[in-house]
Structure formats: C-alpha cells, structure tokens
Amino acid sequence: MKTFLYALATLIAMECGTSQNMGSPAAEPGTIKKTTENFTDAERIGEMMNYLASDDMKGRDAGTEGIELAATYIENYLKSYRVKPYFNSYRDTLSNFTKPAFNIVGIVEGNDPELKKEFIVIGAHYDHIGIVPMENGDAIANGANDNASGTSTVLEFARYFGTHKTNKRSLIFALFSAEEKGLLGSKHLAKELKEQGLNLYAMLNFEMTGIPMKDKDYLMYLTGYEMSNLADISNGYAKEKLVGFLPTAKEYSLFKRSDNYAFHLELGVPSHTFSTFDFTNFDHYHKVGDEADKMDFVHMANLVNKTIPVLEGIANAPTQEIKNN
C-alpha cells in the first residue's frame, strides 16, 4: 500500500506540474519546436526513473509481483494524460509466456479523417531480469538504463500527444513485457496487429537511453541504420544531426535484439530502435549496478524534447516518407 500511495502521489504531483510545462495549446506546424523544447525536464524524468527502477519493483521480472507495480504505474500514467486503452483495457495478456504477463498498450487517435487510419507504434520494454546472484550485498537488478529509461521516454511521448492531440496519424504506445525472455511481448503484439490487418506505417522503439554517448556528433544511434531512410527523415525534422550510425550496433546485430525486430518480421514495415548505449558508456548491463542514480536525467529530458518534433513530423507528413531500403 505504501508503494501504491507513493506512485499515486508521484502521478498527482506530475499532473499538477504539467500545466506549467505544457503552456498554451499546440502551435501550428512549423513552430512546434517552441512548444516542445522545454516540454519535460530532468526533475520530472528523475521522479519517473526513481520509481520505475526502485527496489520495490524487485527488478521488474516478467510475471512477478514487482513488475505488477510498474504495470499499474504505467496504466495510471497513460490514463492521466488521456491516452486511451488500445484493447478493452490497457493490458494485453501474453499468449507465449507461461506466467501471467502483459504488455501495456494505449492509443492516441489521429486527428485527420484519412491519415488516422494509418498507425505508428512507439514502444519500449518495461520488464527487466529481476533477482540475480548477490553482489556487494545487493541482488536486485533494477534495470534503470535497461529499460526504465526507454519506458520513461515513451511515457513522456505519450503524455505529449495525449494532452496536445497534434498527431494526424494514430499513435500506439506499447510498453512490452518479457523482452528479456526473448522479445516475447513484442512478438505477441506484432502478431496480434498483423491478424487485425492493422495498417501499420512504422515501429519506433526506444532502448537504453539513460546515458549520453561521448565523442559523437549525434545524440542517438539507430539500429538497422542502413535498412531505411529513417535517420535522414529524423534529422530533417530535428533540424540537426540527432540520429547517427554506430558501427558497433551493426557488428552486434542489435537490430535483431530489441522489440523493433518482431514488427519487421511480422509486418515488414520500417522498424528501428533508438538508443544511446554504445558499449563504452555504461558498465552495468544486466547487473545490480544499473541504478537510477547513475542515469543522466538532463540528457534524458533533452532526448525527449528533441525527439518530439521528429515524431510529430512523421505522424503528420502527407505521405509515408519512411521507406525500407
């Protein structure tokens, strides 16, 4: 109960602060940068991360009581900012995992009568690996960078579009479970959407965005960089080199190792992951040291603020400009 009340209080505090951050209603296309550059901030991101990566979650292992706390938090967050459930409820129960586990899926319908029939999935996995062998008196793998960071990023995108409603295409916000068990949550949802005959345009995934890269002339890299023109499209809307190519991502086949891959396989649409983990800037992958106090909340807020115009541009373009190569 104490944990639930803390989560509820955090949501209420955030909601009260939102009116100050959001400012006036959405600007006309072409001026959107003025309304998004300060949309979120380090303090807000920090509150989200400190909760999602807290010891109360017990490492958010799929099918455990710990991840249930995170799921409830995410549901309440989406509801608070007028993101509707995609299914009858926000919970999409996995059919390919033995323990009770579910994706959390919401939708912000597009505001254009024709373009709203096209969909973009914006996703991140919210599970982690749970309890691990004891190390320096700690056995909880909190999963701050992996992937409370991506989860917080996507939730802030959901807050923006849920409250501003500036998207012409419909946006599905998907927080996946059981990614750490073999991408099971995204495989389950991608199959469902294919069976529905959903007109999916693209899948944009966010993974390990909590620490900035060093000595790079771009903020994020894109997995499967050469497989579509998404990087060029993104940088055009950002009006800067926001997205770049990381050779290590190709070397380690990261395109196939996150939740974008299921959508690539099932639906064949442009499907990529944005990340800032480059194998040199974070030493705690799948370890107990992956704690919120090691994250750079200023960097995370900056990433959200700079990416919103990109998502908005993609959602509102008159044609489907992202193309597979």
pLDDT tens across 228-256, in order? 999 999 999 999 999 999 999 999 999 99
CA 184/CA 168 separation, integer angstroms? 30
- What angle (nearest 5°) sits at the alpha carbon of residue 264, between those of residues 261 and 266? 105
Give which of 264, 262, 260, 263 is closest to 272, Cα–Cα: 260
Long-range contacts of 1-10 (CB under 8 A, 24+ apart): 3/56, 3/69, 4/69, 4/72, 6/51, 7/51, 7/69, 7/72, 7/73, 7/76, 8/76, 10/47, 10/48, 10/51
Asked if residue 286 lies in contact with residue 61, where contact means CB atoms within 8 angstroms, the answer is no
User: Quick one: how far is CA 153 from the chain centroid?
Assistant: 5
**Cβ-proximal residues to 250 (8 Å cutoff; 6+ apart), any chain:** 225, 226
- The β-bridge partners of 131 are 140
Asked if residue 127 lies in contact with residue 118, where contact means CB atoms within 8 angstroms, the answer is no
Give which of 232, 199, 236 is closest to 119, Cα–Cα: 199
**Cβ-proximal residues to 169 (8 Å cutoff; 6+ apart), any chain:** 110, 112, 115, 116, 118, 119, 120, 201, 314, 315, 316
* Sequence-ordered strand ranges (E) for 59-150: 84-85, 91-93, 102-108, 119-125, 130-135, 138-141
Asked if residue 288 lies in contact with residue 136, where contact means CB atoms within 8 angstroms, the answer is yes
CA 12/CA 16 separation, integer angstroms? 6
In the predicted model, residues of the chain with pLDDT beneath 50 are 1-10, 12-13, 15-34
What's residue 193's pLDDT? 98
What's residue 14's pLDDT? 52
Looking up tokens 């995609």, which residue turns up? 86
